Structure 1
């Protein structure tokens, strides 16, 4: 559970964190496969709060793919 400002006004005024985000995350490893399955259940009870997930890896790449409500965006890594 993460406490968050309930709305944009509370965020701007820095007057509290009466909103919240509950996160339930389950990582599933299956024998004989290289895939890691991640199941996430979010209960976002804060207005106007965007949530992102960052998965750090030891791999070096020239681009990164970000998923959003409008589709996929490919960006160079700097």
Structure 2
């Protein structure tokens, strides 16, 4: 939604002020916001997956049972 608004704002102000170069700038801003959002979401899910794997490995080795808190991103004993 934010990416769409950035592109639309570039187009609107390009027409309003008579600066045609604002349209590509708005589109570029929209693409950067969209790509940045995708990267943040993917990085967060990768980090959570790695933490979950660490907890599973500890359990497999016979270490005392642990719980994983997704909000804290920590594993702790119950």
TM over 0.5: no
Q: Shorter-chain TM-score category?
A: under 0.3
TM-score under structure 2 length normalisation:
0.21
TM-score under structure 1 length normalisation:
0.21
Q: Which has the larger radius of gyration?
A: 2
Structure (1 or 2) with the greater helix fraction: 2
Structure (1 or 2) with the greater strand fraction: 1
